[in-house]
Structure 1
Amino acid sequence: MWYTGKTRNRNGVTIIIDGNLKDEVVEIKRKSDRIILVKLMIDDEAFNIIRTYAPQIGLEESTKNAFWDDLEEIVQGVPLGEKLFIGADLNSHVGSTNEGFERVHGGYGYGVRNEGGESILDFAVAYDLILANTFFKKRESHLVTFSNGPNKSQIDFVLTRNVDKAVCKDCKVIPDECLVSQYKLIVVDVGVKRRKQKHRSNKCIKTRWWNLNGGKMALFKDKMLQGDPWKVEGEPNMIWDEMASRIRNTAREVLGESRGRGPLTKETWW
């Protein structure tokens, strides 16, 4: 689980992934209390998962504008060749019809579009995204993401690139699975073809080079500089072997290892 937020009872967003995928995580970005990105490498393909929580209606326009500026900045930082999925509580309504936004809205939304919904659709058009949960015809209970008594609305969305529309096999609300009575869980099914790989007959042990960032990068540097390691004397091959061994041992100590049946080769994402 990765979390961003100053306090636990206000704002804050979280991304939780399956434990089997934790070693595939190569980057975390926390843009604000309301936006977090987790990047995974699956085979040779990058998947960027963004979780967002937009300001509620009634907050100052400056707060809303700052949110959209931050979201645009983090989306712009994702290369076009990488997969992008945004799970967003956007606190606005895009409506049941897609008039004027046929490319990004599938025509199976809920409710009446408001000004905030226009901003969502404009954002999707600007970055060639689609609102996945508007592209599947569902009954009302599988569209409504928030209900409070007689009031019902669709304010949570899953956005992805238009070019990846085909990988979204289904998207719907699970009405009986919720954290509190008002909010409903929204699920998107994504189909990805995994490249077949040959595996070792024994367990593969890999240094977690993808952890070389932030504080661990500084610790790695400090440990490498201890004892004047660059002043080794002798034959070039002997010097190289000693230095390479020191680098590998230090990396295993600072970054750790991942164990399990792994592919013969795995390119590290930098």
Structure 2
Amino acid sequence: MNLNSSVKTMLNGSGTTNNKWSGVAFLIKNKLKKYIIKFVPITERIAVLYLNTAYKPTILLNVYVPPKLTERMLFLEHLDNVISSLPKRYNIIAMGDFNTKIGHDITYKVSNTIGHTTVYNSNDKDGKKLLQICFDNNLKIENTFFKHKPPHLMTFSRGGHSSQIDFFLSNIHSWFADVKAILNINISDHKLIKAHIIIRSDEWRNNNTRRIHSTIRTTPEQPTKWHFTNINKTTYNETICSGLARIIQLFPTKPLEECWSDFKSAIFHAYNNLNHSQIPKREWLSANTKNLILSIKNDRSRNLELWKRI
């Protein structure tokens, strides 16, 4: 393979030197070589590349699902095991020829595994398996989240028939700005698929989340303040222990949410039934500050013209 000197190639495949079959490869620019942690060839159809990116490592998987129907399901099972074994705290991007058709499926659309831009109305058998793999591993099929004209959605063409069988899968949807097929580059019956990825750091994510939350923030519920200084600790402990003992007996038979609600009720009940002094409410403004504001308002109303000049 003749490559530009600025490109580094990592190839994993099988077959003869001049005729590579079922191989997958990564082409990396030499200036990005310093970010490579390691390259792990799993099989001739699966290769894994570990990169050192913004705030945690990113794992790239290059996948080529067998075209033969008899081999696909077994391969997808193996792919599921490979993805499941990867560290979930890392960024994961899987890409390649999956030889499956992903269609409209309301179950996976609700779970946000797929978006609204699906080419087909239904999945084939292997497509359902791929969707289940994505759902189990918290991956999204990025091609389905970006709206384009049909030529930019179809990734494979042969004999006048086009289909979408090449995908990007990822657990970092916020990094993807666009995914589409590139036209007019005919090197095989598969089109090149281009993903526009913006690597975002923790600082960006925190700032962006803060900005979003600021637009929908409502007044939070004030926490209950308890004053334990003047209560009888022994009596309180006995009261709460007797209430919790009854809940613990029912713990195996009740849902966790109900048990937590019962725990809260028992703690509140034990405290409210004891003699205790409540913390007095604090005024936001002192009496002197309120009087000063009132006097300023009165002066302003009496000397409106003077205030306007000021």
**Which among 33, 36, 40 is matched to residue 22 of structure 1?**
33
Distance 2:25 2:183 in 1: 21
Amino acid at match of 1:2: M
- Asked if 1:13 is matched to 2:13, the reply is no
Aligned match for 1:114, one of 108, 117, 124: 124
Residue in 2 that maps onto 1:33 = 44
Q: How does 1:170-181 map to 2 (within 5 A)?
A: 170-180=178-188
Does 1 or 2 have the higher relative contact order (CA < 8 Å, sep 6+)? 1
Is the contact between residue 31 and residue 70 of structure 1 (CA under 8 Å) also seen in structure 2? no
Whole-Å separation in 1 of the counterparts to 2:55 and 2:145: 28
Aligned to 2:273: none
Question: 8 Å contact 2:12–2:25 — kept in the other structure?
Answer: yes
Alpha-carbon separation, structure 1, partners of 2:93 and 2:186: 21
Distance 2:36 2:84 in 1: 20
Q: Counterparts of 1:42 and 1:126 in 2: how far apart (Å)?
A: 25
Paired residues for 1:78-97 under 5 Å: 78-95=86-103, 97=104
1:140 equivalent in alignment to 2:150: yes
Contact 1:172–1:186 (Cα < 8 Å) also in 2: yes
- What letter matches 1:193 in structure 2? R
TM-score (norm 1): 0.65
For 1:190, the equivalent position in structure 2 comes to 197
Residue deviations 1:111-140, cap 9 Å, x none? 342111111111111111100000001100
Shift of 1:77: 3.0
Matches within 5 A, 1:148-163: 148-161=158-171
Question: What is the TM-score with the length of structure 2 in the denominator?
Answer: 0.57
**Identical columns (%):** 23
State the alpha-carbon separation in 2 of the partners of residues 195 and 54 from structure 1: 34
| Deviation of 1:44 (Å) | 4.5
Q: Conserved in 2, the CA contact under 8 Å of 1:98 and 1:107?
A: no
Larger CA Rg, structure 1 vs 2: 2
Give the corresponding residue for 1:265. Answer: none
Letter paired with 1:128: N
* Aligned counterpart, 2:280: none
Deviation digits for residues 163-209 of structure 1 (CA, Å, limit 9, x no counterpart): x21111111111222322x210111111113699xxxxxxxxxxxxx
What is the distance in 2 between the residues matched to 1:179 and 1:71? 27
**Matched residue count:** 189
Q: 2:140 touches 2:170 (CA, 8 Å); kept in 1? A: yes
C-alpha separation in 2, matches of 1:195 and 1:111: 36
Structure 1 residues 21, 134: closer, same or farther in 2, change over 3 A?
same
Q: Is the 8 A contact 1:111 1:153 kept in 2?
A: no
1:2 matches 2:10: yes
Q: How does 1:183-262 map to 2 (within 5 A)?
A: 183-193=190-200
- Alpha-carbon separation, structure 2, partners of 1:44 and 1:125: 24
Offset of residue 9 of structure 1: 3.1
- Larger proportion of helix: 2
Residue ranges of structure 1 left out of the alignment (5+ in a row):
197-270
Amino acid at match of 2:28: I
